[in-house]
Chain A
Amino acid sequence: MSTNATEPQLDELNSGQIKRQLGRALRRQKLRALLLIAPLLIFIIVGFINPIASMLLRSVENNIVQETLPRTIEALHDWDSDSDELPPEETFTALAADLQIAIENRSALTFARRMNFEIAGFTTMIRRVQREVRGWDVEADGPFREQMIDMHRGWGEVQTWRAIEAYSSPYTIGYYLAAVDMTMVNGEIESMPDNQSLHIMLFWRTIWMSGLICFLTLLLGYPIAYLLANIKERHANLLLILVLLPFWTSLLVRTSAWKVLLQEQGVINQVLVAIGLVADDARLELINNKLGVIIAMTHILLPFMILPLYSVMKTIPPSYVRAAKSLGANDWTAFWRVYFPQSVPGIGAGAILVFILAVGYYITPELVGGPSGMFISNRIAHQWNVSGNWGLVGALGTIMLLAVLVLYWLYDRIVGIDNVKLG
């Protein structure tokens, strides 16, 4: 009794102090936790969040036009871009002045390359003018209009000036338009001509092929996962090693192996010819097309389907199927109505994993795809390596990122991420 009487008093006396002590203890814990994850956090910020942010920025950034041609853009304000007339002489004078400075700064060609994405042949136009402009006295040597048109007739076309004006603001949606095969003409958004429309087709191909690969891995992986989950542990471990073996081999090696197997003089064709199933002059085209990509990627992504399926199936007790059979269901009904619905979270996890991985695949389509098996990621790499169009690369990448996020969100709504078990 005596302890009960003194306790409340004690609490009142110390309550402020206790709170402070608790706060200090917790703060120390939190600080320690933060310190522990700090290396990873820094790594993620530098190596993951930073590139994504810069990609997002580059996809809309358009400073170069404004920075290179400040006077020209100023002069173009007074020009009516809807009219079919060329801008007046002052604009050409301003352009000459801007270009002189740009040549001095060595930024003229960078600018030219940027505008070349919008106006074919713009680099040539700048090169032609560049030689002469250097020697001009902007105050005295005018008028420049006729001289420049003489050097390259592109300068005498209204389209050129419209494009310069359209891309004169520091931010642009032009890259996104280009990423979905559209372009801005006279302030209006138009589809590109069919012979230049590549991205939509590639996006679509990437999606349907990834979907098909996803379905094929499910078809092949489901029975294996079932087997894994239902045989003796000793055998299951052995089988699991076989499933995991490809994981420990380089992706490049596995893809190259498929190249050896699938090519025209490859193992499969040689065997088929040798046993007389296929004529020597009619060898199967298994590589450098969609088929090659589907075969190789299905194989490479198979473990990503099997493992989530396996981890879910392992938690389904065999008594459910037994119960179903004792209630009168035959093997198929017991499987389809009792076992299969319970394995759906595994299918969802595997499918979303394989699909997201497949959509972003680069090496395999590059090596075994050929032109007809190219994915959107190969186009992105091409734009980056060959054309150097970083803005378009950023826009394509951002669209991919958004598509995957939307997919993830949809999945969360329908199946629930909490239901996903990856092992």
Chain B
Amino acid sequence: MTSGKTDGFVVFDRVQKSYDGETLVVKDLNLEIARGEFLTMLGPSGSGKTTCLMMLAGFETSTQGEIRLDGKAINNIPPHKRGIGMVFQNYALFPHMTIAENLSFPLEVRNIGKSEREGKIRRALDMVQMSDFAGRRPAQLSGGQQQRIALARALVFEPELVLMDEPLGALDKQLREHMQFEITKLAHSLGITTVYVTHDQTEALTMSDNVAVFNDGRIQQLAPPEELYERPANSFVAQFIGENNKLEGVVETIDGDRCTVRLDDGTLIDAQPVNVTQAGERTRVSIRPERVESNPERLPEDAHLVEAEVLEFIYMGDTFRFRLRVGGKDDFVMKYRNAQDQQRLEAGQKIRIGWLPQDCRALDA
């Protein structure tokens, strides 16, 4: 292989895309997806994730750069020759065909014989537990059933790569959670490479091997779910994934993987430097609500404690949520598990809170 080419199954190599010739919706995208990987493109709407998926499927052309599939550049290959399975947002099941005919379609256009076709259709329907529905029409199925059929249709011709464009967006919460599990299980058991687009972070975290967080036409961070949540690379990722408290201030001291930050109201806190390199830099620190500790006994002795006032207590069933005033801001959130011995704080109560330095990340301002 020549330099620059890597052995990823799917490769985006410095890809750019512009619709109007003035603004880039995808800016200098580099991404490698290994064979068998389940990768999720996560981001707010307009972040360029769907455009990337459409370029991979062949429905949009990149204005610059190269997309490679299994080592071959596919920029000039029309969509129907790419052999990529795709599940669309609204399923796009053909309404004038039965379920069996829908599944038969990709096999017919590949000139596969009738008996072989029937076998494949049966196996695909079995795979999604929809064998009894072969003779129905899409309109006679529920949303969840249509979703399964869309999945079966995208897999029936045994593609090596499957793209999914927010496939669970139209389902209710319970069904969505169930389908998340099924899709992941299916993808892993078949060993196919999956590129999944969503704006739902829970979906991204629970399903993927790797998540690419998109914003403003760029990948902000590409990492496995755990790393993404625990160690967000910048304040956008920290903000976008999960719940997050942010405080602003200036780095006071910095010492290896520990630093102290002087907040704007003068409070000093512990943090881990991520995007800061020297004292005096402005930073935005990020702390997860569940990592905030109100019992100083559980913190190391040298931890800096912060004054806080409880503003609101919200009972959420499995968790307790407190809204606090910290460092002059009143949107700081602290979360407790609902346990037997857990103390409940009253609104108006003054407390002292703190955290482990590694749970508080000093990011870009």
Contact = CB atoms under 8 A, between A and B. Distances in A.
Main secondary structure, interface of A, reads helix
Nearest to B153: A327
A157 to B, nearest CB: 67
B79 to A, nearest CB: 4
B85 interface: yes
B92 interface: yes
A330 B80 contact: yes
B43 interface: no
Interface stretch (A8-16, A83-91, A256-264, A316-324): A316-324
B92 A322 contact: yes
B157 A328 contact: yes
A342 interface: yes
A338 B59 contact: no
Interface in B142-181: 153-154, 157, 163
A420 interface: no
Contacts of B88: 319, 322-323
A236 to B, nearest CB: 18
A371 interface: no
B83 A323 contact: no
A121 B12 CA distance: 93
A319 B89 contact: yes
Which range contains the number of B residues in contact with the other chain? 20 to 34
A328 B103 CA distance: 12
Contacts of B78: 325, 330
> Which among B82, B106, B110, B157 has the greatest number of chain A C-beta atoms within 10 A?
B106
> Which among A317, A325, A330 has the greatest number of chain B C-beta atoms within 10 A?
A325
> Which among A317, A323, A341, A342 has the greatest number of chain B C-beta atoms within 10 A?
A323
Nearest to B80: A325
B79 A326 contact: yes
A324 B110 CA distance: 12
Given A322-B59, A326-B84, A333 B109 contact: yes
Nearest to B88: A319
Contact of A320 (B59, B79, B94): B94
Nearest to A338: B94
Interface residues of A, number: 19
A328 B92 contact: no
Contact of B92 (A319, A329, A330): A319
Interface in B84-133: 84-86, 88-90, 92-96, 105-106, 109-110
B109 A317 contact: no
Nearest to B101: A337
Nearest to B95: A342
Contacts of A65: none
Given A328-B109, A329-B105, A323 B92 contact: yes
A327 B90 contact: no
A193 B344 CA distance: 108
Contacts of B90: 317, 319
Contacts of B83: 328
Contacts of A333: 109
A227 to B, nearest CB: 19
A243 B82 CA distance: 39
Interface in A256-282: none
Given A319-B89, A325-B79, A328-B83, A342 B109 contact: no
Contact of B109 (A322, A329, A341): A329
A334 interface: yes
A111 to B, nearest CB: 62
B92 A320 contact: yes
B105 to A, nearest CB: 6
Contacts of B157: 327-328
Contacts of A328: 80-81, 83, 106, 109-110, 157
B57 interface: yes
B96 A341 contact: yes
A328 to B, nearest CB: 5
A277 B85 CA distance: 55
A341 B80 CA distance: 20
A271 B109 CA distance: 49
A329 B80 contact: yes
B139 to A, nearest CB: 13
A415 to B, nearest CB: 13
A337 B57 contact: no
Nearest to A319: B92
B89 A326 contact: no
Contacts of B57: 322, 326
Nearest to A316: B95
A331 B90 CA distance: 21
B80 A326 contact: yes
> Which among B57, B58, B86, B92 has the greatest number of chain A C-beta atoms within 10 A?
B92
A317 B138 CA distance: 15
Contacts of B163: 326
Interface in B290-327: none
Interface string A300-327: 0000000000000000010110111111
Contacts of B153: 327
Nearest to A321: B92
B105 A326 contact: no
Nearest to A340: B96
Contacts of A324: 94, 105
A54 B329 CA distance: 86
A342 B138 CA distance: 14
Interface string B255-277: 00000000000000000000000
B109 A327 contact: yes
Contacts of A337: 105
B100 to A, nearest CB: 14
A333 B79 CA distance: 13
A326 B85 contact: yes
A322 B79 contact: yes
Contacts of A334: 80
A323 B95 contact: no
Contacts of A325: 58-59, 78-80
A90 to B, nearest CB: 76
Interface in B40-92: 57-59, 78-86, 88-90, 92
A261 B130 CA distance: 63
Contacts of B85: 326-327
A5 to B, nearest CB: 36
Interface string A339-373: 00110000000000000000000000000000000
A419 to B, nearest CB: 11
6 contacts: A320-B92, A327-B109, A328-B83, A330-B109, A333-B109, A342-B95
Interface of B: 57-59, 78-86, 88-90, 92-96, 105-106, 109-110, 153-154, 157, 163
